[in-house]
Structure formats: C-alpha cells, structure tokens
Structure 1
Amino acid sequence: MNVGDRLLAGLVAVLWGLNFLAVRVGLDHFPPFFLAALRFLVLAVPVVLFVPRPQVPFRWLLGYGLGFGVMQFGLLFLAIDRGMPSGQASVLVQASAPFTVLLGALLLGERVSRRQLGGITLAVLGMAVIVVDRARTAALLPAALTVLAALGWAFGNLASRRARPDRPLRFALWMSVVPPLPLLALSAVMEGPGTGWRSFGHAFSADGWPGLVALVYIAVAGSVVGSGIWTALLRRHEAGTVAPYSMLVPVVGIVAAWLALKEQPTGWSLAGGAAVVVGVLAGTGWTPSAGRSRRKPARGGSAPLLRDLPGPVPDQTVGPTGRVQDTQRSRGT
C-alpha cells in the first residue's frame, strides 16, 4: 500500500472508532432501540428508492439484517445505554470474529486450524478478563449484552456468507431495510410507544442538536463513507494488507472515550482488550506475510468488506459496518 492508501485505511479506523463515541452522545438524546432503528431508517429510505435490490435469496438478506442489524446494534446500543463504557464496548464487540469462526465450523462445516483455535482461545480469555473486571467494578449485564451483540454480528456474517452476493456493497445497503421495523417494535414495547418519537422531535430543538449530529454521523460517516473507502481499498489491495487496520478501531474507541468522556479503563481491561485484538488477528488467519503479499484481486472482482466479515480471510479472486463480503471458501488456514 502506498502512503495515501495507508492514510485512507487509518481514516476508516478513525471513523469507525468514533462511531462508539457518537453512539454514547446519541444515547443521551434517544432511547437505545429507537436510536438503532433510526440508524438504519436513515439509510433504508434512499436505498429502497435508488439502489437496485441485490440478487440473493431473501432469507439470507433477512438473516443478515436480523443478526447484524437487529441483534448486534440493538443489544450494543442497549449495553452502552445501561453503562457499558463505549471504549470497552469497541473492544468486546470484536468477539464477533472468533464467534464467526466457531459458528462457521459448527453450522457450515468449515475447518478450524490450530492457529485459529489458538487465536480464538486467546480472544476468549481476553473477553473473560474484561467480563470479570466488569463484575468486580460495575454491573455485569452491560458486558454480557455486548458479548451477545458480538454473537449477533457473527450470525449475520454466516447469513452473509450463505447469500454469496455478486454486489457486496449493494447487499450491505439493502440489509439496512430489514432492522427498522423490528427495532421500532422493540422500542414501542420496551421503551414506550411514543418515547422515541418524542425524543426525535426534541432533537430539532436548541438542546437536542447533538443527538441529531450523532445520528447523522453514525448513519453516514460511520457507515456509508467508511464502508465506501474500505471497499475501494480492498479492490486495490490484498485483504491481508487491509484487514489489520480494522484492529485500530478499538484503539481509537478507547482513546476517544478517554479524551471526550473521561473513561479510564483499568489495567486488567486494557490487558484483556489487547488479548482480544491479538486473538482476533490470529483467529482470522492474518499473518505479517499475508500483509506483504503483492497479489491483487482479479480485475472486476468484488472485494470483501472485512469490517463486516471478521472471519477467515476470504478468497480475493472470486468476483460489507455496513458491514459486504464476496463469496468465501473455507480454508482452515
């Protein structure tokens, strides 16, 4: 990668890392399920009007939307709203990577190498350290909700793999059509039928504009802009070269939360977070030699968006946070 592309990859990591800060700001103005619904609704309306529907079976589009959209975002927003520090959330949600590998082995018959198993074990130990540290210092429920959010992301990844979209970005955009109605229903039941809509009206007042800015950032900068740049980078470079930059996301999330929200992680939570990051890199099959490979994707092939596919490195020659990935072969590497 040249200097310009490295800077772009770093920019995407910053955009995605600041997403967690924007969520924290948004939750000061909107209830969690309603904010998650708005996040997708902002994208769903223009997508239905202007983006052609991807040619994939509807059940996999629905599964991706329910797992990645409803379960992941709904539970993640609820966890942060209930007290999960946004910096720690940015680390713990990376558990989607080992979850994806394990579920792929259990449900799709994909092979898991010893290297991947070692990475998964390290990531799980890191998660356990964070959860135990949370249990000692604060309520355990928010951490448990964050882990379940990561599990939802993993289920979404499996549906995305089964869909095998020929237009990954179009598939990722159309996924946003699924979550709004389930999330709005959850909001009506758990937060009150009019609570979310009253908060939305208040967002246009003098005191509510930070929540509106946060919503726009989450939906546009964190999703469309970040995913667009990431997809462009993966069209020009090997997945093994680009993917490690996504591990800067929790670093940005922790630093941003520390600077803006005065969140001060404990030494144990930092150690657990480091174990999660290293375990994710090992568990997804990335090696330094993969990052140095000069082989490019086949011309005209669609590259996967690894932010939405934290599982094994996909086949780049076969041609999606949102997310978003291309067809994939289980390689056990």
Structure 2
Amino acid sequence: MSPKDLLSALIVILAWGVNFVVIKVGLHGVPPMLLGALRFTLVAFPAVFFVKRPAIPFRWLFAYGATISLGQFVLLFYAMSVGMPAGLASLVLQAQAFFTLIFAAMILGEGFRGPNVAGLLIAACGLAVIGVQAGHAMTVAGFLLTLAAAAMWGMGNVITKRMGKVELLSLVVWGSLVPPLPFLALSLMLEGPARISASLSDISLTSILAIVYLAFVATMLGYTLWGKLLARYPASQVAPFSLLVPVVGLASAALLLDEGLSPVEFVGAVLVMAGLVVNVFGGWLRQRLLSAAR
C-alpha cells in the first residue's frame, strides 16, 4: 500500500473511531431511527443536485445504500440506544473483517492466506471473550445487533469491490438516497410522531453538530476514502485496517464518556488487536523468518 493510501486509511480510522462517541452524544437528544434519517438526508441533500450519478446499474446503487448505509446503521444505532457502550461498539463492529473475507471468498472468489486465517481466528477469540460480558457491561441485544451491523458492513464492502471502478463520492451521495425514507418509516413506527416532533423542536446545538459530523466526516469523507481503498486493493488487505478503529473508539470513549473496560474486556480487546497484527504483518514476518533461516 502506498504512503498516500496508508494516510487515507489512517484518516478513516480516526474519523470512524471518534464516530462512536458522536453517535452516543447524538442519541442523547435524538432517537436512533430519526438520527439515521437526518444523517443520510444531510449526506444526500443538496449534494445530489451537484454530484453526478455514478455510472453503475441501479441495482448496485440500491445494494450499496441498503447494506452499508441503511442496514448497518439501523442495527448499530438501535444497538447503541439499547445499551451498547460506544467503545465496545467500535470493537465489536470490527467483526465486519470476518464477514468481508467470508463474503469476498463466497462471492468474488478471493482466497485466504495463512496469516488471514490465523489473525481472524485470534480476533474471533477476542470477540468471543467480549461476548461473554453481554448482559453485564453491555446488553445481549446490543451485542447481537452490533454483530448484525458488522455483517451488513461486510456485505457492503464486497458490493463496493464488485462494482469495480466507480467515483466514490458520487456513490456515497447517491447511495444515501436509499436510507432516509426507510429510517423515517421506522422512526414513525418505533418512536412515534410525538417523539419526533419533540426531538426536532427542542434539538440542541450538540445534536446538530453530531449530525453534521456523522454526515460529512464519518459518511462522506470516511466512506469515500474507504471505498477507494477497496477498489485498489484486495478486500483481505483493506478490511483488517478497520480493526484499528477500536483503538481510537475505546480511547475516545474513555476520555470523553468515561467508559472503562473490565479486565475480561481488556483481554478481549488485546486479542482483537493481536489478530490485526497477525493479519496485516503475518505474511511479511513469515518471509523474514524464512529468509533468516536460509
């Protein structure tokens, strides 16, 4: 990966790591489904009038919007509203790396390398350790919904890869036309007109800033850069970088929300991070060791 693309990956990691704290802050004043509707409405409008539609079939545009935008965040926002802490959400959501590799193998025929398998198995153990804490530091529903959100993200990664070369800013903007109406329909059903009206009439500056961050930094900037990386490199090389997001997510949640980790959760987090190291650097390390042995 070139230095420029590595910098892009680090920018995404920072933007998405802080994103979980911003979501938690936004949910203090706006219910989850309404927050999703506002987020993606702001991404799509007025940009859709100035950004050219991506040159892809509508089915791919809809699939992208339905998975990465709608499916992922319906599940994640609801998970965080029913007891999933911001820091742990940033960690558990990285199960998307498993789903991305599995879906890429099934749909795109991409193979697994030894370090990929070893790294993901280590990280899976870490997620399992964290899952044991469901019902204590986090709710069972929050944990399971976050895993489901990770599956949606993984499928969205593969859909982005399957599209081939596409203008990513236009994909993000036009793909954001898909979520607002379903989010609003869910908000009407689950949250009700009275809560929607009260949230909008009493919306605070903090909530407005949270929505702006979610729309422009986490969505437009983050997914544009991420999609470009997926278009240039195999999914197995790009997806593991997202495992660094919890480092920022856990640190920012501890600093800004005073969220801490239990000893068990800390062990799980270390295993997930160790899985990333093996996944990304395992092949290089093996070659160095073989070269030294010769």
Q: Distance in 2 between matches of 1:139 and 1:242?
A: 30
The residue that corresponds to 1:221 in the other structure is 217
Q: How many residues align?
A: 285
Q: Distance in 2 between matches of 1:5 and 1:113?
A: 22
**1:250 is the counterpart of 2:251:** no
TM value normalised by structure 2: 0.83
The residue that corresponds to 1:106 in the other structure is 106
Q: Secondary structure at the match of 2:64?
A: helix
**1:70 is the counterpart of 2:64:** no
Superposed CA deviations along residues 199-255 of structure 1, whole A, max 9, x for unmatched, are 12211xxxx221111111111232334456778999999999998764432111111
Q: Distance in 1 between matches of 2:111 and 2:6?
A: 32
Give 1:273 shift: 2.1
Which residue of 243, 268, 271 maps to 1:275? 271
Question: For the Cα contact (< 8 Å) 1:39–1:218, is it kept in 2?
Answer: yes
The residue that corresponds to 2:18 in the other structure is 18
**1:124 is the counterpart of 2:155:** no
- Quickly say closer, same or farther: Cα 1:278–1:78, change in 2 above 3 A: same
| Structure with the higher helix share, 1 or 2 | 2
Q: Distance in 2 between matches of 1:109 and 1:231?
A: 19
Give 1:167 shift: 1.6
Q: Distance in 1 between matches of 2:155 and 2:64?
A: 7
Structure of greater relative contact order (alpha carbons < 8 Å, 6+ residues apart): 2
Q: Secondary structure at the match of 1:64?
A: helix
Q: Indicate the RMSD between aligned Cα atoms, in angstroms.
A: 3.3
The residue that corresponds to 1:329 in the other structure is none
Superposed CA deviations along residues 31-82 of structure 1, whole A, max 9, x for unmatched, are 1111112111101112321110001111111111111111111111111111
Q: Distance in 1 between matches of 2:32 and 2:264?
A: 28
The residue that corresponds to 1:149 in the other structure is 149
Q: Distance in 2 between matches of 1:139 and 1:215?
A: 25
Q: Distance in 1 between matches of 2:143 and 2:187?
A: 21
Identity %, equivalent residues: 39
Q: Distance in 2 between matches of 1:97 and 1:238?
A: 12
Structure 1 residue runs of 5 or longer lacking an equivalent are: 292-333
- Quickly say closer, same or farther: Cα 1:56–1:282, change in 2 above 3 A: farther
Q: Secondary structure at the match of 1:117?
A: helix
The residue that corresponds to 1:55 in the other structure is 55
The residue that corresponds to 1:265 in the other structure is 261
Superposed CA deviations along residues 11-48 of structure 1, whole A, max 9, x for unmatched, are 54333211111100100011111111211110111232
The residue that corresponds to 1:80 in the other structure is 80
Question: For the Cα contact (< 8 Å) 1:54–1:165, is it kept in 2?
Answer: no
**1:287 is the counterpart of 2:281:** yes
Q: Which moved more, 1:168-177 or 1:105-114?
A: 105-114
Superposed CA deviations along residues 62-117 of structure 1, whole A, max 9, x for unmatched, are 11111111111111111111111100101111111111111222344432333322
TM value normalised by structure 1: 0.74
Which residue of 205, 209, 213 maps to 1:209? 205
Give 1:157 shift: 1.8
Question: For the Cα contact (< 8 Å) 2:37–2:180, is it kept in 1?
Answer: yes
- Quickly say closer, same or farther: Cα 1:25–1:48, change in 2 above 3 A: same
Give 1:172 shift: 2.4
2:60 is matched by which residue type in structure 1?
W
Question: For the Cα contact (< 8 Å) 2:94–2:242, is it kept in 1?
Answer: no
Q: Secondary structure at the match of 2:132?
A: helix
